[in-house]
Amino acid sequence: MAKLLLVDDDIELCSLLGEFLSTEGFETTLVHDGQAALDSTQNGSFDLIVLDVMLPIYTGFEVLRKLRDYCQTPVLMLTAKGEDVDRIVGLEMGADDYLPKPCNPRELVARIRAILRRVDQTQVEAPSDLIEVDQLKLQISAHTASFKETLLTLTGAEFTVLELLMRSAGQVISKEALTEQALGRKLTPYDRSIDVHVSNLRKKLTAEGAPKELIINIRGAGYMLTTSSKPA
């Protein structure tokens, strides 16, 4: 049974969502402010956190920023409907996915299960499942990534996007394929989630000395990891 932390200051909505998630087989802890969310993550372990943006004490963004200092638990942000800026900021700060409010509980469950499936797939690989492309290394079972032997701190979504790009190094992967395989859902109009995840990857790689053109955008086609060799 997956353990979820649901953080929302709307107590009635939080309770209703919690009850629905329980009927879907999740063990759910409910809290209603940013401080309680941080306390909960420090005192217990969760498989996934559903985090509202508008919270008292600390906003969802502040919680996410503090959380990423010590924890890489997948985070699904709940954003105000139509607030594209909130969605992009959340993804840039390390959220794995987002869902606009008010949300359909069934879609929330579908998004949660898609993220958990992605995490499970990285955990069941054989211990020797190592991918190497030039100076990039990915240890799937350990969920670690490195460039020039320097470990990269990646979110679950960023790790999966990098894995997909490395497995197809030198080939273009469409945004549609990346969205379906990395996020577990169809690409919809105006959805920039994959663009933000790739942008985050670029920033983290270039910070360790990787060339900016390591991951390139082929306009109208998708993204490609450039390489001088095929993945090992």
Q: How far is CA 76 from the centre of its chain?
A: 8
Q: What is the pLDDT of residue 120?
A: 74
Identify the burial level of 103 via C-beta atoms within 10 angstroms of its C-beta, where 0-12 means exposed, 13-18 middle and 19 or more buried.
middle
Query: Residue 100: is the preceding peptide bond cis (ω within 30°)?
Result: no
- For 149, the 3-state DSSP assignment is coil
- Identify the structural domains of the chain with CATH numbers, from first to last: 3-123 (3.40.50.2300), 130-225 (1.10.10.10)
Q: What is the pLDDT of residue 123?
A: 55
Rounded to an integer, the average pLDDT of 136-164 is 91
Q: What is the pLDDT of residue 127?
A: 44
Q: What is the pLDDT of residue 208?
A: 93
* pLDDT tens readout for residues 42-92: 887 899 999 999 999 999 999 999 998 888 899 999 987 667 788 888 888
Label residue 121 by pLDDT band (50, 70, 90).
Answer: low
Q: Beta strand pairing status for 150-152 and 222-225?
A: unpaired
**How far apart are alpha carbons 52 and 6 in whole angstroms?**
8
**How far apart are alpha carbons 195 and 180 in whole angstroms?**
14
**How far apart are alpha carbons 201 and 183 in whole angstroms?**
15
Q: What is the pLDDT of residue 126?
A: 44
* pLDDT tens readout for residues 10-20: 999 999 999 99
Mean pLDDT of the chain: 89
Whether the Cβ atoms of residue 28 and residue 76 lie closer than 8 Å to each other: no
Rounded to an integer, the average pLDDT of 203-215 is 93
Whether the Cβ atoms of residue 154 and residue 147 lie closer than 8 Å to each other: no
Closest CA to 95 of 169, 5, 197: 197
Which tokens go with 152? 């990269």
